[in-house]
A = this chain, B = another copy of it.
Amino acid sequence: MASTTSARPPGRPRTGVNAVVFAATLSTVRELGYARATVERIAAQAGVAKSTVYRRWPSKGELIVDCLLDAFGPVPLKGDSRAELMSSAIHWIAGKIGEPGVGDAFAGVFSDAVSDPALREILSSRLQDPYRLALQDALDEPENRVLFFIDVVVGTLLHRMGMTGEPMVDADVAALVAMVLPQLADDPGTAG
């Protein structure tokens, strides 16, 4: 039994262009901004037909979400204490949002989601929830608390990006960390 050969569906198999499309998405967003990064331009940049993009992603929003998931990858949860975990997570997401195209794309979908409940649901369940669950587990904090932290950290980073067009500088990221860390309940042994 060669692995799951027989599981392959009939018909012409898809070519492996997802990675190319993701790269084209980020580079197009970086060059032209979110709104001018049309699906047609992204497809052209990827050397692919517009219809191919729409066959794989039902909307521009879902394309961007998948692209962001690919760009982010899993949270690197390193550190011995909860403070170190939180600190490394904040630096990680700040770095990701600072990568060329990523911040613009993130702010862009987020914006679209404001007036598109379906997209909001996708953004929340596909992008936010996995990280939320990982953080809940790693930090041992309740859901509403982790949601609050995500609002603060991601909201702050996106607001800076949206207002200035530039990612937040290291000094301000450090200030963000310094502000958030004390909000974690003291580690066992530190409190009375």
Give the B-binding residues of A (Cβ under 8 A): 32-37, 104, 107-108, 110-117, 120, 123-124, 128, 144, 148, 150-152, 154-165, 168, 172, 175-176, 178-180, 182-183
Kindly provide the distance from the CB of A130 to the nearest chain B CB, expressed in whole angstroms: 14
Q: Across the two chains, which residue of chain B brings its CB closest to A172?
A: B148
Kindly provide the distance from the CB of A177 to the nearest chain B CB, expressed in whole angstroms: 12
- In whole angstroms, how far apart are the Cα atoms of A26 and B176 in the complex? 33
- In whole angstroms, how far apart are the Cα atoms of A176 and B104 in the complex? 26
The oligomer's copy count stands at 2
Main secondary structure of the interface of A (DSSP, over half): helix
> Cβ of B163 and Cβ of A156 under 8 Å apart?
no
Kindly provide the distance from the CB of A141 to the nearest chain B CB, expressed in whole angstroms: 12
Kindly provide the distance from the CB of A88 to the nearest chain B CB, expressed in whole angstroms: 19
> Cβ of B124 and Cβ of A152 under 8 Å apart?
no
- In whole angstroms, how far apart are the Cα atoms of A165 and B121 in the complex? 10
**Chain B residues positioned under 8 Å from A176 (CB to CB):** 152
Kindly provide the distance from the CB of A103 to the nearest chain B CB, expressed in whole angstroms: 9
What are 25 A-to-B residue pairs whose CB atoms are below 8 Å?
A33-B114, A36-B115, A107-B111, A108-B114, A108-B115, A111-B114, A120-B162, A123-B163, A148-B175, A150-B159, A151-B172, A152-B155, A152-B179, A155-B155, A155-B156, A155-B158, A155-B160, A156-B156, A158-B159, A159-B159, A178-B183, A179-B180, A179-B182, A179-B183, A182-B182
> Cβ of A35 and Cβ of B116 under 8 Å apart?
yes
> Cβ of B163 and Cβ of A159 under 8 Å apart?
no
